[in-house]
Structure 1
Amino acid sequence: MTVQRPDPRSVKDEQRETWDAVSPGWERTLATFERGAATVTRRLLELGGVRPGHTVLDVATGLGEPALSAARAVGASGRVLGVDISPRMLEAARRRAAGLGNVEFAVADAESLDLAPGSFDVVLSRWGLMFAVEHAGLFRSLARLLRPGGVLAAAVWGAPARVPMMALGHAVVRERLRLPPPPPGTPGPFSMAEPGPLAAQVRRAGFVEVSVTEHEVPFRVATPDGYAEFARAVMPPGVLRAVRETFGSADDPGTWAAVAAAAERHRSGDGALLLPSTALLLRAVRPAGGDA
Structure 2
Amino acid sequence: MANEDEARDWNGDTGRYWAGHAEHYDAMLAHLTPHLLDAARIEPGERVLDIGCGCGTTTLLAAGRGAAVLGADLSGPMLAVARERAAGLDGVRFEQADVQVHDFGAGSFDVALSRFGVMFFDDPLAAFTNVTRALRPGGRLAFLCWQDLRENEHRVLALDAIAPHVDTTGAAPPGPGPFSFARPGYLRELLTGAGLTGIAVDEVRAPVRLGADAAAAADFLRHGAMLRAIFERYPAETVERAVAALTEALVPHETPDGVLLGAATWLVTARRP
TM bucket, shorter chain: 0.7 to 0.9
Summarize the Cα distance change of 1:146–1:184 in structure 2 as closer, same or farther, 3 Å threshold: same
Q: CA deviation at 1:211?
A: 0.5
**Which ranges of structure 1 fall in alignment gaps of 5 or more residues?**
1-7, 288-292
Q: Which has the higher helix share?
A: 1
Q: Does structure 2 conserve the Cα–Cα contact (< 8 Å) formed by 1:26 and 1:233?
A: no
Question: Which runs of no fewer than 5 residues in structure 2 stay unpaired?
Answer: none
- Are 1:235 and 2:235 an aligned pair? no
Pick from 221, 225, 228 the counterpart of residue 215 of structure 2: 225
Q: Which residue of 1 aligns with 2:244?
A: 257
| Residues 257 and 184 of structure 1, relative CA distance in 2, 3 Å threshold | closer
What is the CA–CA distance in structure 1 between the aligned matches of 2:15 and 2:163, rounded to whole Å? Answer: 21
1:234, distance to aligned residue in structure 2 (A) = 2.5
Q: Which residue of 2 aligns with 1:58?
A: 50
1:178 maps to 167
Q: Is the 8 A contact 1:58 1:67 kept in 2?
A: yes
- In the alignment, is residue 147 of structure 1 matched against residue 121 of structure 2? no
- Matched positions, count: 271
TM-score where L is the length of structure 1: 0.81
Cα distance between partner residues in 2 of 1:16 and 1:257: 33
Letter in 1 for 2:271: V
Letter of the 1:162 counterpart: E
The aligned runs of 1:175-214 (5 Å cut-off) are: 176-178=165-167, 180-181=169-170, 185-214=174-203
Contact 1:41 1:69 in 2 (8 A): no
Give the distance between the partners of 1:14 and 1:171, measured in 2 at CA: 28
Within the alignment, does 1:285 sit opposite 2:251 as a pair?
no
In the alignment, what sits opposite 1:5?
none
**Which stretch of the first structure deviates more once superposed, 158-167 or 121-130?**
158-167
Q: Give the residue type in structure 2 aligned to 1:200.
A: E
Q: Distance in 2 between matches of 1:266 and 1:18?
A: 31
> Who is 1:276 aligned against?
262
User: In structure 2, which of residues 10, 22, 42 is the aligned counterpart of residue 30 of structure 1?
Assistant: 22
Seen in structure 2, the aligned counterparts of structure 1 residues 138 and 174 have a Cα distance that, compared at 3 Å, is farther
Shift of 1:91: 0.6
**Is contact 2:152–2:263 with CA below 8 Å preserved after alignment?**
yes
- The superposition leaves residues 159-183 of structure 1 with CA deviations (integer Å, 9 ceiling, x where unpaired) of 1122233554467567744265279
The separation in 2 between residues aligned to 1:146 and 1:68, in whole angstroms, is: 20
Q: Is the 8 A contact 2:26 2:57 kept in 1?
A: no
- Alignment pair present for 1:105 and 2:97: no
Q: Could you say what the CA RMSD is over the residues aligned between the two structures, in angstroms?
A: 2.8
Moved over 6 A (4+): none
TM-score (normalizing by structure 2): 0.87
Aligned equivalents of 2:181, 2:58: Cα separation in 1: 19
Write the deviation string for residues 121-146 of structure 1: whole angstroms up to 9, x where unpaired: 00011101111112222221111110
Report how far residue 48 of structure 1 moved. 1.7
Confirm or deny that 1:15 pairs with 2:6.
Answer: yes
Shift of 1:92: 0.9
| Letter in structure 2 aligned against 1:19 | W
What fraction of aligned residue pairs are identical, expressed as a percent?
A: 32
Q: 1:198 and 1:229, CA in 2 relative to 1: closer, same or farther beyond 3 A?
A: same
Q: Is the 1:170–1:235 contact (alpha carbons within 8 Å) kept by the matching residues of 2?
A: no
Q: Distance in 1 between matches of 2:165 and 2:141?
A: 39
SS across alignment from 1:231: helix
